[in-house]
């Protein structure tokens, strides 16, 4: 369960693309873990998104990737077909 609006936005974006296989960790309960992940990625905000273990960015970056189509391409590299592609095909048929 997302505990903040930014985390919720990340989850909603993933769901829009049909991504079901992801993990989330609550870093709000442990200040050392929260700071540690920021230090690890050299990124100042939470949530942080990793695709196949590679740091992508925060909510703002994922939203931008979603809006400009880059997320579809990144998911494709991981062998994940975005559900939005199927939705677009269904829309074209109508």
Binding residues for [2Fe-2S] cluster: 4
Tell me how far the alpha carbon of residue 22 is from its chain's centroid: 9
Listed as own residue / partner, the contacts of 61-64 with beta carbons closer than 8 Å and 24 or more positions apart are 62/9, 62/10, 62/13, 63/9, 63/13
For residue 76, which of 52, 55, 92 has the smallest C-alpha distance?
A: 52
Binding site membership: which residues?
A: 4
């Amino acid at each position: 369960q997302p505990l903040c609006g930014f985390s919720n936005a990340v989850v909603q974006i993933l769901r829009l693309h049909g991504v079901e296989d992801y993990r989330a960790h609550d870093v709000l309960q442990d200040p050392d873990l929260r700071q540690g992940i920021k230090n690890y990625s050299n990124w100042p905000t939470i949530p942080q998104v990793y695709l196949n273990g590679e740091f992508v960015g925060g909510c703002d970056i994922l939203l931008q990737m979603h809006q400009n189509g880059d997320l579809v391409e990144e998911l494709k590299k991981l062998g994940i077909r975005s559900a939005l592609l199927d939705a677009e095909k269904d829309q074209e048929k109508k």
